[in-house]
Amino acid sequence: MVWQDLVFALGSIVFIIALVPTIFSGKKPSIWTSVPTCLVLYAFALTYLEMGFEFAAATTFVSATLWDIIAIQTLYLLEVEGINWEKEEENHRAI
C-alpha cells in the first residue's frame, strides 16, 4: 500500500461516517445531488482500483453505495408524499 491509497481511504472513511446520520434522518438531499454524487464516486472507485489503490477503491465504493441508498430513500419519500421527482427539481431550484 502506498501512502496515497491510505490518504484516499481515510478521506472516504470520513465521508462514510458523515453520511450515516443522513441515512437515518427523515430529511434527504435532492435527488439531483445524490445520483450524480454516487455515479462520480463509482467512477472514482474504478479509477482507484485501476491505479492499484485497493483500500481507496473499497472505501469509495462503500461511500458511493451509501449515496445510492440515500437516492433510493429520497425517491421513496417523494413517492410516499406524492411528489413527482421531476417537479422536485423545481423545488430545489427555488431554494
Q: How much is the pLDDT for 82? A: 75
pLDDT in tens, the chain (95 residues): 799 999 999 999 999 999 999 999 989 999 999 999 999 999 999 999 999 999 999 999 999 999 999 999 999 988 887 766 566 556 555 55
DSSP 29-90: --HHHHHHHHHHHHHHHHHHHHTT-HHHHHHHHHHHHHHHHHHHHHHHHHHHTT--HHHHHH
Residue 94 amino acid letter: A
Reported pTM = 0.84
- E strand or H helix at 22, and its extent? helix 3-24
pLDDT at 43: 98
- What is the reported pLDDT for 91? 58
